[in-house]
Chain A
Amino acid sequence: MIDPSHIEDGTEGDDHPGDDRLDGERLPYQLRLFVAGASVNSIRAITNVKHLCETYLAGQYWLEIIDVHQQKQLAEQQQIIALPLLVKRLPLPERRLIGDMSDTEKVLKGLGILDESV
């Protein structure tokens, strides 16, 4: 039911309008972090992702943080089960990382910053 094209559609009309977004979409790293409200895991994940991005991808990434509680229909559209969920939309291939992103090495591998074979 859900294919990648739908994912694009599903977020097109989201409330992130403005030039920021248009600018951000030109950046090489397109990241989206889904969280569930202000749970412990959510807060930890946000902190960890922000920290990693600033450390390794400064100026090259666009991070969108979405609270699934606010947009419940997204859960089905995006095949969300476990939270927090970090989706790397670009560069391809798309990757999905779950957890509070405390395992830095795994996150970096998942984002393609660190070579996976290492």
Chain B
Amino acid sequence: MNPTLSRDSKYPLVALPKTRTGIAGLDEITGGGLPKGRPTLICGSAGCGKTLFSMEFIVRGALQFGEPGVFVAFEEKSEELAMNVASLGFDLKQLQADKLVKLDHVRIERSEIEETGEYDLDGLFIRLGYAIDSIGAKRVVLDTIENLFSGLSNQGILRAELRRLFEWLKEKGVTAIITGERGDGTLTRHGLEEYVSDCVILLDHRVDNQISTRLLRIVKYRGSVHGTNEYPFLIDEDGISVLPVTSLTLDHDVSAERVSSGILALDKMLDGKGYFRGSSVLVSGTAGTGKTSIAACFVNAACLRNERCLYLAFEESPQQIVRNMSSIGLDLQSHIDQGLLTFHASRPTLNGLEMHLIAIHKLVRELKPRLVVLDPITNLVTVGSMSDVKAMLIRLIDFLQTEQITVLFTALTRNTIVQEQADEGVASLVDAWLLVRDIESNGERNRGIYIMKSRGMKHSNQVREFTITDEGVDLVDVYLGPEGVLIGSAREAQQLQVETGVALRDHAVGRKDREIERKRLVLESKIASLKEEFESVQEELNKSYIEDELRKEILEKNREQLTRQRHKEE
């Protein structure tokens, strides 16, 4: 493997040529597809998707890579097969008419056949060779060739002939898929793996906690490096998608660009600019603390910047979220109408974690959003264990970060002890972690928000009060009173008190002034009444004095008169 050696040698090292399958994700795990010109064995138990897998190989080959293919069905009739795959949008009739695909149903019934000595499978060879030549096929599927074992009893002949068949296929230079039913303790019931040794892919269908997961594993791939894990895959209306799990390296590009959180005050707490683009944000908190509102604000801001958003709701329906958010002044419906916002609501129990992951992958590939919201991730625990969820989120974050997509998770916490929340594991993965808490005091409940961490930026260490009003979400500076941090109505009361303090003092001064005035008035009226009293006493006294004078005058007059009269009589 010395590079200088290969350069010097006469024949440069040639990597194994591969045939792309066109199946989403599979070509990534196999490093380019199935070995070209060689047979590949696909095995698995009933209903694990072997036929569909091989059919997709043929159809995609014909449609995407211009490689016609022959599909030999030992189980299903051609019409049945065409009908079965029509649901995936594969029009086999048309493909056959265009000479891109050839279906051949091989019917073999033991009861109709009598074996009378030595025979060989030349018939099958001729038949297959004719089919290949008639359309110039590059791909061949034999599904499931093991049915020959039930139709023919001479195992010795069959085995020798199968070996010859696979050799012959190699000579023909066609890339072949041979499917086989999984046996007890062996890959296939009849040991096909003995003959097909270049590449073996195992499909599995596992049900865990009533939730089914389809898994794919490359058991063997001679002459090529390949992923060795079990890769979950999904069968939906677009066929098979395999999830290439994590890229094991951590070397994706990072952006220094900042995006607003949609809440001005929160941006201020985050160094005045908001989150990094392509970072992961976790908003956790107990029930009813406004996690969804924070997420919706972020989405709203992104949509206003004309960025595409994907909102994955695991708890509420899109209509519900739109309605609820309109109550706080966020018009998400208009973003949906513009095609900027896409909701994808599904119950976590709809399928396994892996399936969710694949579904998210597919949506992200399709929509190419700049922002993805998962609300809430904690509901996923109903489908898998905490470690499964963590593994899934690692992969999701990894995937989204390589795509430079900002992601926001909300998580419900059942307690307020920070250490236990950290155990959920996600906290260590995310770049920013906001914690929304209930703060209960004085018979009322208020929301407090603080930033637990925010990688790569200065951020506020303050607990802010978090308010949700008709106009949206806002943060209020906490009020530091003489008794400590005040929130809610206590804060308002304190503020009121301060504002009215001056007025109260003014009021107090005024009241004292009025008191003095009143006292003065009282005194003055007292003085007046005393004066009146004095006057009346004076008048009284004067009256008797005048009377005395008058009496004295009158007596004087009377005496004079008497005197005069006496004088006359005399």
A→B interface (CB under 8 Å): 1-2, 34, 36, 39, 41, 44-45, 48, 68-69, 72-73, 75-76, 79-86, 95-103, 106-107, 109-110
Contacts and interface: CB of A to CB of B under 8 A. Distances in A.
Contacts of A107: 114, 116
B129 A1 contact: no
10 contacts: A44-B117, A72-B127, A73-B130, A81-B108, A81-B148, A84-B119, A95-B112, A98-B152, A102-B116, A110-B116
A75 B113 contact: no
Nearest to B128: A75
A99 B123 contact: no
Nearest to B127: A75
Interface in B111-165: 112-124, 126-127, 129-131, 148, 151-152
Nearest to A77: B127
**B79, B107, B121, B123: most-surrounded residue (chain A CB, <10 A):** B123
Contact of A109 (B77, B114, B120, B148): B114
The 10 closest A-B pairs by CB, nearest first: A75-B127, A99-B117, A80-B123, A36-B122, A102-B117, A72-B130, A99-B116, A100-B117, A83-B122, A110-B114
A75 to B, nearest CB: 4
B454 interface: no
A107 B119 CA distance: 14
Given A2-B107, A82-B152, A100 B123 contact: no
B118 A99 contact: yes
A99 B127 contact: no
A63 to B, nearest CB: 16
B74 to A, nearest CB: 9
Given A81-B127, A85-B123, A1 B77 contact: yes
A48 B119 CA distance: 14
A39 B124 CA distance: 15
Contact of A103 (B78, B79, B117, B131): B117
B77 A72 contact: no
B131 to A, nearest CB: 7
Given A72-B126, A95-B114, 14 more contacts: A2-B107, A75-B127, A82-B124, A82-B152, A83-B121, A84-B119, A95-B112, A96-B112, A97-B114, A98-B116, A99-B115, A103-B116, A106-B116, A110-B116
A21 B28 CA distance: 60
Given A41-B119, A83-B120, A72 B107 contact: no
B120 A76 contact: no
Contact of B126 (A1, A44, A69, A97): A69
A80 B105 contact: no
Contact of B127 (A41, A44, A76): A76
Given A1-B105, A76-B130, A76-B131, A102 B118 contact: yes
**B104, B117, B131, B152: most-surrounded residue (chain A CB, <10 A):** B117
Contacts of A73: 130
A98 B115 contact: yes
Contacts of B117: 44-45, 48, 99-103
Contacts of B108: 79, 81
B353 interface: no
B73 to A, nearest CB: 10
A97 B113 CA distance: 6
B451 to A, nearest CB: 68
B118 A81 contact: no
B122 A68 contact: yes
Contacts of B152: 81-82, 98
A45 B113 CA distance: 16
B112 A36 contact: no
Contacts of A103: 115-117
